[in-house]
Structure 1
Amino acid sequence: MNPHPTDAAPHPFDALTPDLVLDALAGVGCLGDGRLTALNSFENRVYQVHLEDPVGDGGPRVVVAKFYRPGRWSAAQILEEHGFAAELAAAEVPVVAPLALAGRTLHHHGGFDFSISPWRGGRAPELDDFEVLEWIGRFLARLHNVGAARPFSERPSIGLESFAREPRDWLLAHDAVAPEVRSEWRALLEDAIVLIAQHDLLTLASRGETAIIRLHGDCHPGNILWTPLDRPQPGPYYVDLDDARSGPAVQDLWMLLSGDRRQRTTQLGALLDGYTELRDFDPRELALIEPLRTLRLIHYSAWLARRWSDPSFPRAFPWFGTPDYWRGQVDTLREQIEAMAEAPLMS
Structure 2
Amino acid sequence: MNYHQLTPDFIADALASVEIYADSGLMALNSYENRVYRFKSEDEGTLVAKFYRPQRWSREQIQEEHDFLTESDAAGVRVATPLRRQGASLFEYHGILFAVWPAVAGRQFEADNLDQLEALGEQLARLHQVGERFVLRHRPLLSTQDYLEQSYQTLKRQATIQPTTSQAFFPLLRQVIDQAVRLYRPKRQLTLHCDCHSSNILWRDGPWLLDFDDCRRGPAVQDLWMMLSGSRQEQLVQLDTLLAGYELVREFDAAELALIEPLRAMRMVHYMAWLAARWSDPAFPANFPWFNTEDYWQQQLKVLAEQQLSLDAPPLSLTSWN
Q: Normalised by the size of structure 1, how large is the TM-score?
A: 0.89
Counterpart CA distance in 2 for 1:293 and 1:263 is 17
Corresponding residue of 1:331: 302
Checking the alignment, whether the CA contact within 8 Å between 1:68 and 1:112 is kept in structure 2 is yes
Counterpart CA distance in 2 for 1:194 and 1:34 is 51
Secondary structure, in 3 states, of the residue corresponding to 1:50?
A: strand
Corresponding residue of 1:231: none
Corresponding residue of 1:6: none
Corresponding residue of 1:185: 169
| Identical counterparts, % of pairs | 45
Corresponding residue of 1:258: 229
Corresponding residue of 1:66: 50
Write out per-residue CA displacement over residues 29-55 of structure 1, whole angstroms, 9 at most, x where no aligned residue.
Answer: 112224321111111111112113x2x
Offset of residue 178 of structure 1 = 3.4
Alpha-carbon distance change, 178 to 220 in structure 1, aligned in 2, over 3 angstroms? farther
Offset of residue 11 of structure 1 = 5.7
Alpha-carbon distance change, 22 to 218 in structure 1, aligned in 2, over 3 angstroms? same
Counterpart CA distance in 2 for 1:171 and 1:135 is 38
Counterpart CA distance in 1 for 2:142 and 2:296 is 25
Corresponding residue of 2:149: 165
Corresponding residue of 1:296: 267
1:280 maps to 2:251: yes
1:145 maps to 2:122: no
Corresponding residue of 2:92: 108
Corresponding residue of 1:22: 12
Checking the alignment, whether the CA contact within 8 Å between 2:48 and 2:102 is kept in structure 1 is yes
Secondary structure, in 3 states, of the residue corresponding to 1:277?
A: coil
Q: What runs of 5+ residues in structure 2 fail to find an aligned partner?
A: none
1:133 maps to 2:117: yes
Counterpart CA distance in 1 for 2:157 and 2:282 is 22
Secondary structure, in 3 states, of the residue corresponding to 1:211?
A: coil
1:314 maps to 2:295: no
Checking the alignment, whether the CA contact within 8 Å between 1:63 and 1:117 is kept in structure 2 is yes
Counterpart CA distance in 1 for 2:171 and 2:285 is 28
Checking the alignment, whether the CA contact within 8 Å between 2:68 and 2:134 is kept in structure 1 is no
Secondary structure, in 3 states, of the residue corresponding to 1:181?
A: helix
Alpha-carbon distance change, 27 to 176 in structure 1, aligned in 2, over 3 angstroms? same
Counterpart CA distance in 2 for 1:107 and 1:35 is 21
1:222 maps to 2:199: yes
Q: What runs of 5+ residues in structure 1 fail to find an aligned partner?
A: 1-9, 55-59, 228-233
Secondary structure, in 3 states, of the residue corresponding to 1:48?
A: strand
Over the residues paired in the alignment, what is the CA RMSD in angstroms? 1.4
Counterpart CA distance in 2 for 1:170 and 1:120 is 36
Secondary structure, in 3 states, of the residue corresponding to 2:28?
A: strand
Counterpart CA distance in 2 for 1:91 and 1:325 is 44
Offset of residue 28 of structure 1 = 0.4
Write out per-residue CA displacement over residues 307-326 of structure 1, whole angstroms, 9 at most, x where no aligned residue.
Answer: 11222211211100111111
